[in-house]
Amino acid sequence: MEKGIAKKLTTAKEEGELWISGKSTEKRELPRLDLSKDYNRTIILRIESADKSKSIKSFANNIGLEGLCFETRHEFDEKEKINVRLFFFGDNVPMMRMQAKVIWSKIDTPVNRYGISFTSQEEKDKTNLSRYIESKILK
């Protein structure tokens, strides 16, 4: 099998199972990497929106090549366009700037959860993100 086609799933429910493109029960086309707030798997976000006067800081819960999930006390509208900067804490990965849009939300008190899809990113950022995800999934 080609490198990168089969990967271990990162969701707790399917821990250790293989994800195979087009044959997995996962709805996403590409797998997501679950993140934590420790030194080894942490991505800090700075989110900017035309509707917000200040940038918002948050941690990413998980990330894939096409988007990510994060939590915040602030509210965003679905389909809202945002600018995101990703800082890879504890890793030698350069900061990335991407444009994205909110594609889903789960509003809870006191924290809201959002899923965003990357709409514009540089090719070098795609390559660096792919390397980061693959290196963490294979560990």
Is 53 in the same domain as 26?
A: no
How many Cβ atoms sit within 10 Å of the Cβ of residue 106?
11
pLDDT category, 29, cuts 50, 70, 90? Answer: low
Which pairing describes strands 67-72 and 33-34: parallel, antiparallel, or unpaired? unpaired
Q: What number of residues does the chain have?
A: 139
Residues 39, 25 share a domain: no
Q: Is the pLDDT of residue 108 over 90?
A: no
- How many Cβ atoms from other residues are within 10 Å of residue 94's Cβ? 11
Q: Could you tell me if 52 and 19 lie in one domain?
A: no
Q: How many domains does the chain have?
A: 2
Residue 13 is part of which domain span? 1-31
Report how far residue 116's alpha carbon sits from residue 82's, in angstroms, rounded to the nearest whole number.
9
Pair 27, 47 in one domain: no
Q: Are residues 128 and 85 in the same domain?
A: yes
Considering the chain, what is the average pLDDT of its residues? 83
Q: Do 73 and 26 fall within a single domain?
A: no
Q: What pLDDT is attached to residue 39?
A: 76
Residue 3: predicted pLDDT: 46
Residues 56, 108 within the same domain: yes
Are 68 and 62 a contacting pair, CB within 8 Å? yes
User: The domain that contains 52 carries what CATH number?
Assistant: 2.40.10.220
In angstroms, rounded to a whole number, what is the distance separating the alpha carbons of residues 109 and 90? 30
- Judge if 44 and 71 occupy the same domain: yes
Specify the 3-state DSSP secondary structure of 1.
coil
